[in-house]
Each structure stands twice: as C-alpha cells, then as structure tokens.
C-alpha cells in the first residue's frame, strides 16, 4: 500500500490569480502597495499568517499580520465569486486522479496551506472528496515545512512515512516530505522553479500529471 498526499494550490489547481488578487487587496486595505505577483507565488503553501508576515519581511507573525489574515479570509469568498477568479484544475489532473483511484493499493489525501473551508470547496467543486480519504489543512497543523501534516495523515491511515509520497509544487512541500521521512515528488507546472524543487530535496520531478502514476510503485 502507498499513501499519496497532494498539495492543492499550484499542484491540483491553478489558484495564483485568485490568491494574488486577495492578497493585493488586503495589502492595499492596510495602506501598503500592491505586492508583486512573484512575491505572492513565493509564499504559496505556507499558512496564511506566516505567509503575510514573510511578505512583509517580518520574522514572526505580529498583530498586524494577524489582522491582515483576518481581512484576507473575510474577502476571499466574495473575490472568488467574481468573474475570472475561479480555481481551475491544471490540465490532466482529473484524469490522473481517476487513474490513481482505480488502484486498490493506493490511498489518496491532501496536505495544504489552505483553510479547511477552502480545501472542501476545491474537493466539492471538482468531485474529489470521494477519492481523498484523509487531509490536513492550515486549520489542523503547523505550517509547512513542519512535518505534522504528513505524519498525522500517516497516523490516521495507519501508513508509514516510508510508504508515503508527497506531491507538490513548493519548496515547502519537498522540505515537509523529507522532514517526515516520506518521498517527495515536485511538479514542474506550479509556482516554484524545478531547480528550487531539486535543491529543496525532491526525489523526482514530473512535468505533466500523466507522469505521476508511473512514479508510484504498486
């Protein structure tokens, strides 16, 4: 048996447009300039309050970062409802998930810096909830790259980290996987460079979702 844990933003769904817009509106609301999209990309995967603090160059979450986090969450749903701010699946993701779901020796789950509400929305929108039997979000565990999301999923499913594969687009995903003792597979279509994924400890890099099943032994 293998446990396959997917990151969400930048791995399953292309959400940078939405995340950046909500982040930019939040920064402007608090009197800051709109951040560059490259800066937003660099923090995707982190828990929101830590991400905002890091974008401001702060070593720790302070009261302002906490207030900005609350504002971000308050305006997220209304921004997502606007035209052009959906979170579409990357090409090939749906077919890949369905192919893995056919394999009885594979369990699937999600490990994401999204909130529980945000992950549930993605799962329900794209019909994945029935295929993902375990998940951990920013509401449940410390921020990546802490290994807690992975180890808790392992504990819940009775799987060992050595039999677990983490698939993600961020350096934090690779670091989290290695810290937990799991295999790390980086995806080239997300928001971090392939070079950065290798440096962060990736055991393999895939360039299209159709390559993922071949990296999961039976």
The 10s digit of each residue's pLDDT in 96-147 is 999 999 999 999 999 999 999 999 999 999 999 999 999 999 999 999 999 9
Q: Give the residue numbers spanning the domain of 49.
A: 16-80
> Domain count of the chain?
2
pTM: 0.93
Pair (132, 59) in one structural domain: no
What's the pLDDT score for residue 96? 98
Pair (143, 176) in one structural domain: yes
Pair (115, 56) in one structural domain: no
- Give percent of the chain with pLDDT exceeding 90: 97
Pair (61, 146) in one structural domain: no
Q: Is 57 helix (H, G, I), strand (E, B) or coil?
A: coil
What's the pLDDT score for residue 168? 98
What's the pLDDT score for residue 122? 95
Sign of CA dihedral 199, 159, 123, 68: negative
Q: Are 72 and 52 in contact (CB under 8 A)?
A: yes
Pair (66, 147) in one structural domain: no
What's the pLDDT score for residue 142? 97
What's the pLDDT score for residue 130? 96
* Mean pLDDT calculated for residue range 51-60: 97
Pair (123, 208) in one structural domain: yes
Averaged pLDDT score across all residues of the chain: 97
Q: What is the CATH number of the domain that holds 181?
A: 3.40.50.1000
Distances (CA, A) of 75 to 18, 19, 69: 11, 11, 10
Band (pLDDT 50/70/90 cuts) for residue 84 is confident
Band (pLDDT 50/70/90 cuts) for residue 167 is very high
Q: Where does a domain end: 60, 80, 100? A: 80
Q: Which of 215, 140, 129, 142 is nearest to 175 (CA)?
A: 142
Distance spanning both ends of the chain, measured CA to CA: 7
Pair (114, 8) in one structural domain: yes
Q: Which of 189, 182, 181 is nearest to 207 (CA)?
A: 189
Pair (7, 28) in one structural domain: no
Pair (135, 205) in one structural domain: yes
What's the pLDDT score for residue 188? 98
Pair (198, 145) in one structural domain: yes
* Mean pLDDT calculated for residue range 180-187: 98
* Mean pLDDT calculated for residue range 63-75: 97
* Mean pLDDT calculated for residue range 168-178: 98
Q: Where does a domain end: 80, 103, 121? A: 80
What's the pLDDT score for residue 52? 98
Q: What is the CATH number of the domain that holds 76?
A: 1.10.150.240
Residue 181 Ramachandran class (φ > 0 left, ψ -120 to 50 alpha, else beta): left
Pair (128, 175) in one structural domain: yes
Q: Where does a domain end: 80, 97, 115? A: 80
Q: Are 10 and 191 in contact (CB under 8 A)?
A: yes
- Give percent of the chain with pLDDT exceeding 70: 100
Pair (44, 149) in one structural domain: no
């Amino acid at each position: 048996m293998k446990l396959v844990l997917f990151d969400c933003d930048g791995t399953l769904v292309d959400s940078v447009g939405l995340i950046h817009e909500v982040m930019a509106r939040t920064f402007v609301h608090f009197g800051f300039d709109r951040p560059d999209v490259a800066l937003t990309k660099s923090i995707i995967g982190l828990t929101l309050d830590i991400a905002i603090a890091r974008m401001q160059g702060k070593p720790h979450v302070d009261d302002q970062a906490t207030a900005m986090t609350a504002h971000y969450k308050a305006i997220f749903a209304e921004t997502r409802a606007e035209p052009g701010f959906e979170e579409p699946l990357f090409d090939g993701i749906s077919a890949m998930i369905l192919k893995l779901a056919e394999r009885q020796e594979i369990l699937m789950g999600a490990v994401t810096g999204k909130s529980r509400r945000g992950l549930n929305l993605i799962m329900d929108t794209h019909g994945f909830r029935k295929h993902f039997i375990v998940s951990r979000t920013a509401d449940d565990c410390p921020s990546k790259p802490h290994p807690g999301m992975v180890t808790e999923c392992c504990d819940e499913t009775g799987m060992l980290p050595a039999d677990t594969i983490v698939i993600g687009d961020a350096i934090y995903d690779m670091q989290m996987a290695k810290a937990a003792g799991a295999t790390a597979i980086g995806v080239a279509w997300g928001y971090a460079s392939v070079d950065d994924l290798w440096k962060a400890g990736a055991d393999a890099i895939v360039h299209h979702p159709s390559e993922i099943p071949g990296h999961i032994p039976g």
